[in-house]
Structure 1
């Protein structure tokens, strides 16, 4: 059909004359304009047909042919009829223009809606990506890197930062930034942020807002959002987002809708971060409990065995030595029997604190069992290990005084056996056995001394 052809070709058709039969039985001459209307995909969807009744004109033409002699008398009548027809045509043209304008506005609205749907779909995909990556993080530093990467994609026009609570001072420090790196105080108190004070998001529209957070080192003229990261009532951190400037010609309503949309997105990100940081903190707590000795805070024997084999393999690859100290608190059983188990535990805790402060960052201090402790010293020769063991003995002699703990005697000493890989064995067990023999030799020689294993 003509309509189908018009729809398929997407071209406007003009039918100068055609006969139609009206519903009341009349036969009319009409002039028809058929305009295709495009659908969302750009293909023809339907047609708009506007017909003009030209029966009077046809009658006039017929009358002109039949009665030329009456032309002058009916000129005025014909002129009036033509004027009326012209006015009607003008009305129809104006109506068509209005319809075209409405269609154009509808297409613009549809395009904007499609862009919004695409944007939200992209945001959902990025949020899912962030959730998967955060769940796979094993260290807090990995969480910060994941957040920084995804935040730059979620908020490409904005800038912002992630601040986390540092224990035990309960201060917040900035750990990740994106965009133009908003100027925040590097370390600040929760009292400096209105969001943390109130326990809920704090949105500021402009720098004229009456409640500006004190942790902003530089004002945010376009406004900002602070969203607290809270899990189970504990403040974990803060998400700070600075809004981008308004676009040229952007109305106040459009600006408000944009900020509201980004604010909802930021709240979703803050919620995901809160859950991830809380889970990671819980995992770290559980892991620490599984590898730490509850009394001394040092690594336990299980972690020591794993670490020892790892350090031996590393020393083998690098062709470096690895030192080992096995030490024992002298006369600990007699001390325990005299002062009681509580005081004995206090001495073990104090020894744990001393050893934790004595070792280097790369060293590993463990409670080997009872009153015995083991220190693993990567890349430490026999001479260096023995020298450090002697320093440790001297430190322990002045470790505790009556002024710090009246129940602990003035003199506490240790005996230390020293061995190294690979001089005293090519396995962890062999090196420990050599250090153990040296420890017994130190006790046999009168205690409070260091003995190195025989080559």
Structure 2
């Protein structure tokens, strides 16, 4: 029989073992005792104090419990830190990718994800930094190539795409005008760029004749508040042509006295911006932009674009100008400066057709210098040349500006009287 007695302060274990008259392992109790087999001869009673064992067990159990709880807390803390780091890293990574999708690669992942993801963080940072530098390099190179940049939006992808598109547009523009035969075709391309592509509705284009120091209005789009006609007779009256620099009416009230509506400019109702375009080392054209004050931010943005297109058009205009000069020289008599017989052969059919279309008449005068051979024989060819030049000058002075004086032969002259 076993019995365990427990209290708050002690633990006792009692056991009673009966001793029976039975032979066990060679010991036969019946030889010494007078008893029947199986009869209880006596009992052994044992009592043990287990208090110290329980205390020791409780201490061990307490230590194990505390150790387990500490280990569990440590694991929980580690997992919490790990999950927090990974969660923060993933959130920053999502923000990083979102920023990259919006074209900004300056966002930095500040969270330390630990050894497990540090390699990924480093690879992403280096890759996007390299991409950012590459896109900026492309933008800078294109800007230096075309001479201007685009409006910065902070989106590197968008800005790079825009400036590459602008490079493509300029390339198309240059490729087209290089195949245009006449200068007026190039001027028409410039008009299309300003009016259709840049949506400008009030501008003028002037051409400068360097030899005669005059200007001519190629076209005027929009209102008539352009420059006075005095600049057409004397190109030096144009401030942009004379100085070779841009003229901005915002710098000083009525900065150019020859603008057509300086009163509106002084009152702040109109502004103008004149851009000189160099052709062959001199100002060959002037583009004048006229705009209202509310258009100022838009015009400020377009100015660099316009200058870029004019710079690309300059070599082509120079080539066409030289071609026109050569063509003009081939139609001019070198001695008198009058048109020659080749000019007559090239233009007579068109001139007759125009006269018929207008329903008017074309008069023809033939002038022959008598005894000219005797002048050459007696006074020499130098004097003869002077006589021809003077005769040509007198004839030119005696007819209208619309009439054409032609040196038809040696001492023969023809005058075409238009619409007589």
Tell me the TM-score normalized by structure 1.
Answer: 0.49
Residue equivalent to 2:282: 234
Residue 191 of structure 2 is aligned with which of 145, 148, 168? 148
RMSD: 5.1
Residue equivalent to 1:424: none
**Secondary structure of the corresponding residue to residue 369 of structure 1:** coil
Where in structure 2 are the equivalents of 1:384-423 lying within 5 Å?
none
**C-alpha distance in 1 between matches for 2:213 and 2:67:** 103
- Cα 1:227–1:308, aligned 2, differ >3 Å: closer, same or farther? closer
Residue equivalent to 1:444: none
- Cα 1:291–1:229, aligned 2, differ >3 Å: closer, same or farther? same
- Cα 1:311–1:161, aligned 2, differ >3 Å: closer, same or farther? closer
Structure 1 stretch displaced more, 169-178 or 341-350: 169-178
Residue equivalent to 2:95: 101
Structure 1 stretch displaced more, 292-301 or 108-117: 108-117
Deviation, structure 1 residue 324: 3.7
**Secondary structure of the corresponding residue to residue 227 of structure 2:** coil
Deviation, structure 1 residue 195: 8.3
**C-alpha distance in 2 between matches for 1:348 and 1:239:** 42
Alignment of 1:120 onto 2:163: yes
For each residue in 1:286-324, what CA deviation from the matched residue of structure 2 results, as whole angstroms up to 9, or x when unmatched? 112211112222221233234445556778999987654
For each residue in 1:4-55, what CA deviation from the matched residue of structure 2 results, as whole angstroms up to 9, or x when unmatched? xxxxxxxxxxxxxxxxxxxxxxxxxxxxxxxxxxxxxxxxxxxxxxxxxxxx
Residues 246 and 273 in structure 2, CA contact (< 8 A), matched pair in contact too: yes
For each residue in 1:117-153, what CA deviation from the matched residue of structure 2 results, as whole angstroms up to 9, or x when unmatched? 4433443343334334434445443332221112345
Deviation, structure 1 residue 85: 4.8
Residue 328 of structure 1 is aligned with which of 362, 368, 371? 368
**C-alpha distance in 1 between matches for 2:212 and 2:405:** 26
- Cα 1:212–1:325, aligned 2, differ >3 Å: closer, same or farther? closer
Residues 203 and 223 in structure 1, CA contact (< 8 A), matched pair in contact too: no
Deviation, structure 1 residue 328: 1.3
Deviation, structure 1 residue 357: 4.8
Residue equivalent to 2:20: none
**Secondary structure of the corresponding residue to residue 297 of structure 1:** coil
Where in structure 2 are the equivalents of 1:48-447 lying within 5 Å?
85-86=79-80, 89-109=83-103, 112-152=155-195, 155-156=198-199, 161-167=204-210, 170=213, 175-176=218-219, 185-186=227-228, 188=231, 193=239, 197=243, 199=244, 202=246, 207=250, 217=262, 218=265, 227-239=275-287, 245-246=296-297, 265-308=305-348, 323-336=363-376, 341-358=381-398, 364-376=404-416
Tell me the TM-score normalized by structure 2.
Answer: 0.52
- Cα 1:276–1:93, aligned 2, differ >3 Å: closer, same or farther? same
Q: Specify every segment of 5 or more residues in structure 1 that has no aligned partner in the other structure, as ranges.
A: 1-66, 248-254, 381-455
**Secondary structure of the corresponding residue to residue 236 of structure 1:** strand
For each residue in 1:376-428, what CA deviation from the matched residue of structure 2 results, as whole angstroms up to 9, or x when unmatched? 45777xxxxxxxxxxxxxxxxxxxxxxxxxxxxxxxxxxxxxxxxxxxxxxxx
**Secondary structure of the corresponding residue to residue 334 of structure 2:** coil
**C-alpha distance in 2 between matches for 1:115 and 1:182:** 39
**Secondary structure of the corresponding residue to residue 294 of structure 1:** coil
Residues 123 and 154 in structure 1, CA contact (< 8 A), matched pair in contact too: no
- Cα 1:333–1:158, aligned 2, differ >3 Å: closer, same or farther? closer
**Secondary structure of the corresponding residue to residue 103 of structure 2:** helix
